[in-house]
């Protein structure tokens, strides 16, 4: 007789985590099952999966957005719980080495071809151009050191230590949202504050109410609240608006069980089970809880200074207007299809809309079926959440991309696909992956209410098979970790998906600290060293 996976103490721990025993057993089974790779049929490209709007179309969608915003509700949703430690990987690597960090030595290593040394040299030569430079200088002074003297000697250990460690600015332990990103004469802005300012241009309603929602880690919530208390009223007065600000944390019930390399539950030294955060796909619960109408989703590090915000704002209105135009047509067809008897020609017109505008082909079996079955299929395909995803031309940035994917039923759909979802040993699939012309900057506008105005249950549209499994370690022991289907990957697999080409200027991520030295993150005209 097989020994049960979980004992009574385990079950108590599982229930205390807000997870059912059945769900935990399902997660263990996923580790034991061969991971299903997606099947690509081709990349989405302009004219075949990616819409490229003319000037007239952009103007039309912007006008529609401005008109409809008088009666619609908008929310900006920003995942902001990720730590900034990866931004400082190179700096932390040097800090963990003994001895002084000298510019001359780093320069010599960079000339010899050292990749980390080259990045460190960029940081050293540009240190005075970072928005946090003034705060860092003051911190050094409080600790009896002079920034000017350290720079003249080319000594950087104390500079980096007080930038990253808790006794200084503590940047290595903070989330990206609380780091100073951009410099202004009146005071420098964190990434969080930049999102507050950006949202004013497109997320305010007719009453000048501006809703934003940030997902944060519990340990950082008070810092975000304190930051908003300091800067929120300034921008409310400046723009004549009122922020409706919300925060939420990733739910413990979305954590996943870790297993060992034999696919048995991983246990800590005290015998307890190890649960880990379930990845950004777990945030679907937070998004669902918003019960929103139109939701803009954007990563915390993708912001620019004020003088570059106009282009971003313009494209938010364009994609928002496009979404609204699709919603309006869906609502009209759904209303007509739900009316008995359905008017002549409506069924055919709705089918053409699905194929031509939503790029959803009717399966042959449905085409040859009777009108009632065709109507039921069309209504099921129309009555879904919608996402319009901005796509940027591929310039070598890491990240997922837009592809046509064949599902289990044989139907194809548009999906945002990550590299790890494709079989690395399948040359044909890898060739399709390499053929992508665009990639995903995480620039979405989502319609999450149905044609009657009722909120969808977003959990009904997830592809549960599209989980991610990775190797991690805990206390020196290797383990397997499970992540839920990604928020804009499998979690939205059964949404209506529309891809739109957006300009590169709307995508300015900060993956390493040196990205803040790019011209897109510097003041207008640049900043002198």
pLDDT tens column, 140-180:
999 999 999 999 999 999 999 999 999 999 999 999 999 99
Question: Could you list the residue range(s) of the whole structural domain that residue 148 is in?
Answer: 90-173
The answer to whether position 313 is within a domain reads: yes
What pLDDT was estimated at residue 529? 36
Sign of torsion over alpha carbons 293, 294, 297, 303? negative
Residues 77 and 27 in one domain: yes
Residues 438 and 504 in one domain: yes
What pLDDT was estimated at residue 318? 98
State how far the Cα of 383 lies from the Cα of 334, in Å rounded to an integer.
Answer: 8
> pLDDT tens digit string along 362-408?
999 998 999 999 999 999 999 999 999 999 998 766 668 999 999 88
> pLDDT tens digit string along 13-26?
999 999 999 999 99
Residues 428 and 473 in one domain: yes
Residues 157 and 206 in one domain: no
Strand order of the β-sheet with 39-43 is: 39-43, 401-406, 412-417
**What's the angle, vertex CA 150, arms to CA 147 and CA 156, rounded to 5?**
105
Residues 119 and 238 in one domain: no
The answer to whether position 206 is within a domain reads: yes
Residues 96 and 64 in one domain: no
> pLDDT tens digit string along 477-504?
999 999 999 999 999 999 999 999 999 9
Q: Is the pLDDT of residue 120 over 50?
A: yes
- Beta bridge partners of residue 323, listed in sequence order: none
State how far the Cα of 213 lies from the Cα of 203, in Å rounded to an integer.
Answer: 11
| Residue 4: band (very low, low, confident or very high) from pLDDT cuts 50, 70, 90 | confident
What pLDDT was estimated at residue 2? 63
Helix (H, G, I), strand (E, B) or coil at 395: coil
Quick one: what percent of the chain has pLDDT higher than 90? 86
Residues 71 and 94 in one domain: no
Mean pLDDT, to the nearest integer, of 94-121? 95
Whether the CB-CB separation of 385 and 444 falls below 8 Å is answered with: no
Report the mean per-residue pLDDT for the chain: 94
Whether the CB-CB separation of 248 and 279 falls below 8 Å is answered with: no
Instruction: Provide the pairing of β-strand 294-298 with 74-79.
Output: parallel
The secondary structure element, H or E, covering residue 182 is strand 180-182
Residues 379 and 349 in one domain: yes
What pLDDT was estimated at residue 526? 56
Residues 397 and 490 in one domain: yes
What pLDDT was estimated at residue 328? 97
Token look-up 């955060």 returns 277
Residues 368 and 501 in one domain: yes
Mean pLDDT, to the nearest integer, of 421-450? 94
State how far the Cα of 518 lies from the Cα of 179, in Å rounded to an integer.
Answer: 16
| Residue 528: band (very low, low, confident or very high) from pLDDT cuts 50, 70, 90 | very low
Residues 456 and 337 in one domain: yes
The answer to whether position 525 is within a domain reads: no
Q: Is the pLDDT of residue 522 over 70?
A: yes
The answer to whether position 1 is within a domain reads: no
Residues 271 and 359 in one domain: yes
H-type alpha helices, 75-204? 89-95, 103-111, 115-126, 133-142, 147-153, 157-164, 191-200
C-alpha distances in Å from residue 500, one per residue of 50, 180, 449? 5, 31, 21
The answer to whether position 438 is within a domain reads: yes
Cβ partners under 8 Å of residue 195, min gap 6: 76, 78, 177, 212, 214, 298, 300, 303
**Residue at a domain's end among 147, 173, 199:** 173
CATH at residue 32: 3.90.550
The answer to whether position 526 is within a domain reads: no
What pLDDT was estimated at residue 524? 85
Mean pLDDT, to the nearest integer, of 118-130? 97
The answer to whether position 107 is within a domain reads: yes
The answer to whether position 343 is within a domain reads: yes
Instruction: Provide the pairing of β-strand 49-51 with 45-46.
Output: parallel
What pLDDT was estimated at residue 343? 83
| Residue 527: band (very low, low, confident or very high) from pLDDT cuts 50, 70, 90 | very low
* Number of domains the chain contains: 2
Mean pLDDT, to the nearest integer, of 194-213? 96
**Residue at a domain's end among 144, 173, 202:** 173
**Residue at a domain's end among 118, 147, 173:** 173
Among 249, 354, 313, residue whose Cα is nearest residue 76 = 313
State how far the Cα of 84 lies from the Cα of 107, in Å rounded to an integer.
Answer: 26
Cis? peptide before 341, omega within 30° of 0: yes
- Beta bridge partners of residue 298, listed in sequence order: 443
| Residue 316: band (very low, low, confident or very high) from pLDDT cuts 50, 70, 90 | very high
């Amino acid at each position: 007789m097989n020994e049960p996976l979980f004992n009574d103490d385990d079950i108590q721990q599982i229930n205390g985590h807000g997870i059912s025993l059945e769900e935990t057993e399902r997660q263990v089974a996923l580790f034991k099952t061969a991971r299903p790779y997606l099947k690509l049929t081709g990349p989405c490209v302009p004219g075949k999966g990616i819409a490229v709007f003319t000037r007239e179309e952009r103007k039309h969608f912007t006008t529609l957005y401005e008109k409809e915003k008088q009666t619609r509700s908008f929310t900006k949703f920003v995942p902001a719980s990720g730590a900034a430690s990866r931004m400082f990987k190179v700096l932390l690597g040097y800090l963990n080495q003994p001895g002084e960090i000298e510019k001359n030595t780093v320069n010599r290593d960079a000339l010899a071809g050292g990749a980390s040394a080259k990045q460190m040299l960029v940081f050293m030569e540009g240190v005075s151009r970072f928005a946090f430079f003034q705060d860092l200088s003051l911190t050094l002074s409080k600790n009896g050191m002079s920034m000017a003297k350290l720079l003249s000697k080319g000594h950087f250990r104390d500079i980096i230590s007080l930038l990253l460690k808790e006794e200084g600015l503590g940047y290595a332990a903070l989330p990206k949202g609380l780091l100073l990103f951009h410099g202004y004469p009146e005071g420098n802005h964190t990434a969080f504050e930049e999102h507050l300012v950006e949202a004013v241009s497109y997320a305010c309603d007719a009453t000048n109410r501006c809703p934003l929602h940030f997902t944060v880690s519990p340990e950082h919530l008070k810092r975000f609240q304190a930051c908003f208390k300091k800067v929120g009223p300034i921008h409310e007065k400046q723009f004549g608006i009122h922020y409706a600000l919300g925060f939420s944390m990733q739910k413990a019930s979305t954590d996943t069980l870790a297993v060992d390399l034999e696919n048995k539950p991983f246990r800590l030294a005290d015998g307890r089970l190890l649960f880990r955060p379930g990845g950004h796909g777990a945030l679907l619960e937070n998004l669902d809880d918003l019960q929103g109408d139109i939701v803009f989703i954007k990563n915390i590090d993708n912001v620019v200074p004020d003088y570059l915000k106009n282009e971003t704002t313009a494209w938010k209105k364009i994609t928002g207007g496009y979404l609204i135009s699709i919603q309006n047509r869906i609502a009209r067809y759904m209303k007509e299809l739900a009316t008995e008897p359905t008017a002549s020609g409506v069924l055919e017109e709705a089918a053409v809309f699905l194929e031509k505008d939503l790029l959803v082909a009717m399966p042959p079996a449905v085409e040859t079926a009777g009108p009632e079955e065709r109507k039921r299929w069309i209504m099921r395909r129309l009555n879904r959440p919608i996402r319009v995803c901005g796509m940027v031309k591929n310039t070598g940035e890491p990240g997922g991309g837009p592809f046509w994917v064949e599902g289990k039923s044989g139907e194809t759909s548009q999906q945002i696909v990550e590299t790890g979802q494709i079989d690395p040993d399948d040359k044909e699939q890898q060739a399709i992956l390499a053929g992508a012309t665009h990639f995903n900057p995480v620039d979405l506008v989502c319609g999450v209410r149905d044609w009657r105005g009722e909120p969808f249950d977003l959990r009904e549209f997830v592809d549960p098979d599209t989980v991610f499994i990775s190797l991690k370690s805990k206390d020196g022991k290797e383990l397997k970790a499970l992540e839920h289907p990604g928020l804009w990957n499998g979690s939205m697999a059964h949404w209506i998906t529309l891809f739109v080409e957006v300009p590169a200027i709307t995508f300015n991520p900060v993956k390493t600290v040196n990205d803040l030295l790019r011209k897109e993150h510097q003041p207008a005209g640049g900043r002198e060293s």
